[in-house]
Each structure stands twice: as structure tokens, then as C-alpha cells.
Structure 1
């Protein structure tokens, strides 16, 4: 029987049953062993009700099946995570666009995609990676999608070095009311970080969650 593999670990029948690696839900011999063991050890003056004992075994089998289901789900999640990781690697070399405020200044040029709820005047503040303000200016923006380009010039007239810079837009419409200005960034993915639960696409030191990507363009 399935319990024979446990010989030598204990002299009792109960230990032989618990030591088996086969599951009760798909091992009829083990079911019978448990049944006979229970019958042998019950008090003749107060025997266990057969229906109660059967119900206990059915409950035990149900719990075991649930545990196996959980293991299967865990395996499926692992496979899904592996598939996501594989897909993330496929972004390397592609130009992606995602919601964000930080982009890279390269050779005196940095671009942000801006969406204005309505036309108006915007105070644009640009900061470096340390949070220091390098440029503040006022510009008229139209309603809808547009691109704001910065040439890297600072407020003191010098050229900012290449690196990561963030933008803040405080916009008001023609009536002087505050309006929302959404920004997006884009760049070529040069790496992937898997340390978090969601793979992060890397554009230099900028991290973009893979589920926040809005568009992907790959050069031929």
C-alpha cells in the first residue's frame, strides 16, 4: 500500500499514514488505512459515528484539493511573471512614451509632450536631478496635445549639462482660472529593472513602470 514507504520512521499506524507523500483525495488505499486505523483505536463503549468520520475525511480531502489549487495558481503566477519579464526585455532599443515629468537633456535638447485642457498662459519651471531650479519662463500654450522643447539654457544664460530634468507647469486659461497641464516623456529604453513587482523600463536613470507605457516606436 502507499503507506509502506514510511516503515522504519515510527511503529504506529498513524505515523505511517501521515508520512505518506500520496494525497488522500486520489489514494483509495490510504483512505481505507485511515478508516481502519480509526476503527481500531476507537473506544468500544463510545464508537465514532460513521457519518461523522466520513464527513471529516471528505473535509480533509477538500482542504488538500484547495492547497493543490493554490500551488497551481502560484505556478501560473510565476509563469506569468516570467512572460512579463520576457516582454519587458523586448522593449530595449525601442522609443517609449509614458506619463511623467522627468526627461533627458541630450546635446542641448529636451522634449516633453504636453496636453492642455484649454489654451492659456503657463509658468514653466525646470529643475535638475537635485531639485534645483535651472530655468523659469512663461509661455502661451494651446489647447490639446503639443510638444514643449527646451534648449538647455538656464535662467542665468548658461548651458545646462546633459542629464535628467523635470518640468512643472502652472497653467491658467484666458479667464485666469487654473487649468490642468498633463505631461508625458519619451526616450529610448536602454535597460530593464526587475527588482520591483512590476518591471521598470530604464531610460538612463529614469524608471518607467511597464504598465504606464502609452506608446512604443521601434526604428527599423
Structure 2
């Protein structure tokens, strides 16, 4: 049986305040008073400024200050979340992790890659079909439930055990019980051996043995050594 624990990427909560910080509030008050005094000095005595104009100016300055504070708060949360993701990725190194096996890119040793699936039960067959990216069948395999093996018992078989040697490539996996069209959930199990970063957003990804790197969100479980 596969002993696993659910793995979730921790999220550091919090919300960016929509109110200016004490420092920015002080600066805002100082700037507004400077602007007010300057305008009062240079106003036309015959056409003094309307109080509404002053309020509009204050509102505009307040909005700019609030937007600046919100942006700074979001930037801090983004940095904290990136740190949490990297910490989670680092914690997985050297451990076996499981991902959905419906689609994967194989690029290595089939003995380092395994399928984890529920047993169909004594005497029953679980059928596996591998197809390429064009839907063309590549290889078929099956697993027959052993004597006194209860349905749902966790089974783990290497890719080589089931399909023999496979060329590198992109694969789709279908798994069904004999006489039933219902798809049986299967996971792909491999060891996490390094961290790489997505070129588009620099998010950390896990490089697994024998397959292409995967996002943290793709990992369903972790098998502790």
C-alpha cells in the first residue's frame, strides 16, 4: 500500500489595507497644507477659491496615496507567497510525489516511474491503454487482482513492469475495469530531485525523475521515505 499524505501549498493570508500608513498620512497632510498655503497666497482676492475645489484636491491626493499603499501591500504579499512556494518545493526534494497520470511527458528510465492505482479485486482486470498525442495507441497492459486482494487495495507498479521499454514522448493514459467503461483514477509516482523555475512567471516547479517538471499545484500526495 502507498502511505501518503495530502500536500497543499501553504498560502500566507492577509489583505492590503486600503488606508494610508501613518507615515504616508503625515506626508499627505504636509503636502496638502503646502498646496493650500501656496494657493491662498496667489489667489485673486476678488475671486477667492471655492471650498469645494479644496476638497476635490484633497480627495485626489488621498486617492493617489491610497493606491500607492495598496500597491506596496500587494507587492509584499506577492513576495511572501513566492517565499512560501519555494519553501514548499524545497520540502519535497528527495521524496516520492504523485501526480495525475492521464497525461505526462516521459523522458527517462521507466523503472524510476510508477503507476499507483486501486486494485480491481480478486480475479478482475484493470486495463491500461497508452496513446500518443495524436490519439494513436502505443501500448496496452493490464493488471489482474491477486487472490484475496480486496477491491481498492493500493497497488504500485513501475512503468517498465506494465509496458516494458517506452520511447521518450508525450503520453495519454486510459484505465478502465473489465466490462466497464468507467475510468479508474491512476497516479504517476516519481521522486522529486530538483527545483526549476517557470520561464514565464518564475514560479518554482518540481523536476521529477523520468518526466518533465510539474507545478506544485499538480502534486496530489507525498510518500514519506
Q: Which residue is equivalent to 2:173?
A: 168
Match of 1:125 among 126, 129, 133: 129
Displacement after TM superposition at 1:81 (Å):
0.4
CA change 1:152–1:31 in 2 (3 A) is closer
Measure the CA separation in 2 of the matches of 1:134 and 1:150.
Answer: 17
Shift, 1:74, TM fit? 0.8
1:115 and 1:133 mapped to 2: Cα distance?
23
Report the CA distance shift for 1:49/1:113 in structure 2 as closer, same or farther (over 3 A): same
Higher gyration radius (CA): 1
Q: How do 1:132-143 and structure 2 match up within 5 A?
A: 133-139=137-143, 143=151
Conserved 8 A contact 1:117-1:181: no
1:52-67 equivalences in 2 (<5 Å): 52-67=53-68
CA distance in 2, matches of 1:113, 1:211: 19
* Whole-angstrom CA distance in 1 between matches of 2:30 and 2:177: 78
| 2:157 corresponding residue in structure 1 | 149
What is the CA RMSD across the aligned residues, in angstroms?
3.9
- Per the alignment, in what secondary structure is the counterpart of residue 207 of structure 2? strand
Between stretches 160-169 and 75-84, larger displacement belongs to 160-169
Equivalent pair of 2:175/2:186 in contact (CA under 8 Å):
no
Partner residue, 1:112: 115
Say yes or no: does 1:209 pair with 2:210.
no
C-alpha distance in 1 between matches for 2:111 and 2:31: 76
Distance between the aligned counterparts of 1:180 and 1:46, measured in 2? 81
Question: In 2 relative to 1, CA 94–148 (structure 1 residues): closer, same or farther, beyond 3 Å?
Answer: closer
Q: CA deviation at 1:203?
A: 0.9
- Offset of 1:169 from its aligned partner? 2.3
The CA deviation at 1:128 is 7.5
Q: Measure the CA separation in 2 of the matches of 1:164 and 1:25.
A: 59
| Distance 1:97-1:151 versus aligned 2 partners, 3 A rule | closer
Q: Encode CA deviations 1:39-98: one digit per residue, 9 max, x unaligned.
A: 233343432212430342144124312321221221221122023113312221111122
Contact 1:99/1:212 (<8 A) preserved: yes
Structure 2: tracts of 5 or more residues without a match: 1-22
Per mean C-alpha deviation after superposition, the further-off stretch among 66-75 and 117-126 is 117-126
Q: In structure 2, how many angstroms separate the alpha carbons of the residues matched to 1:24 and 1:154?
A: 65
Higher strand residue share: 1
**TM-score with structure 1 setting the length:** 0.65
- Whether contact under 8 Å (1:116, 1:144) holds in the other structure is yes
Distance, in Å, in 2 between the alignment partners of 1:188 and 1:97 is 9
